[in-house]
Amino acid sequence: MTKGLPDCDYLSLDLRGFHLTITFDRPEARNAMNAAMVRELEAAFEAASANPEISAIVLRGAGKHFCAGGDLKDMTDALDPPAPGEEDALFRINRSFGDLLTRADDAPQVIISVVHGAARGGGFGLVCVSDIVIARADASFAMPETGLGLPPAQILPFVAMRLGRHRARRMALTGNPMTGEEAGRLGLVHYVCAEEAAAEAALKEVLGQVKDRGPVALTQAKRLINQVGRTPLSLLLDEGARLVAESSRGGEGREGLTAFTEKRPPAWATRKV
């Protein structure tokens, strides 16, 4: 463990100030996620959620690709049916991707994906639960599962919520990849970059923007957004008003309002990118 972060074999973790970079580190397998890598990602998200100093998590891939999705070897190794009374390993392997995407979707930090090469399957799912996506124009996004005779079961709900049902249907039913440029037109990608230097500049810009936001306010905003459609509107508005009142009187909002009145940056804006 380093600075409260888990030791990992398939991820590289780099904590710098307020942002944690998680790099998928299986370049020889196009960063495909095996079961151990999924567990490491879960542990990294859990550790970050417990650290209030981490306001942003950057996801990226080592080598030529972002992430090729799930490692099919884990599935083929678990094809035998479970013995009576035993857990179905194949069910658990597949369901773990849904657990991971749910955790990433609910993360209190700003999730930023920096995509190059291929984002497939679970890798594409992680992009779809990211708050901000920076991608090379020649990156590609796809759900190839139906070509293997399988539905993209754990990924599809998150893709549909991000892109809409009709676009999710096209991608799932044809397997056709979406380019970075097309993803930009559809709003999945916020920064479409022609080259690596431009992507790095975009990441620095985004981190600079996050630095200027109140860390607690970021977490509260994400929680309110995630409750849209789940909580009755009147109750959600009540909760928002309660948070504003509490923060303005004795929380982070008090510092923000005071800094505005005194024409100075708030305390959190002094953090380094």
pLDDT recorded at residue 2: 58
Give the residues across from 244 on adjacent strands: none
| pLDDT score, position 4 | 87
Please, what's the b/e burial string for 138-174 (b: 16 or more CB within 10 A of its CB; e: otherwise)?
ebbbbbbbeeeeeebebbbbbbbebbeeeebeebbee
Listed residue (145, 148, 186) closest to 166, CA to CA: 186
Q: Which residues pair with 20 in a beta bridge?
A: 15, 57
* pLDDT (0 to 100) of residue 27: 98
Helix runs in 61-120, H state only: 72-76, 89-105
Tokens, residue 224: 């309110």
Q: Tell me which residues of the chain have a pLDDT lower than 50.
A: 1
Domains of the chain in sequence order: 11-211 (3.90.226.10), 215-270 (1.10.12.10)
The three-class DSSP label of residue 29 is: helix
Tell me, what DSSP letter sits at residue 2?
Answer: B
- Predicted confidence at residue 26, as pLDDT, reads 98
Count of all residues that appear for the chain in the document? 273
pLDDT for 1 equals: 46
d(CA 227, CA 1): 33
CA atoms within 13 A on the CB side of 112: 24
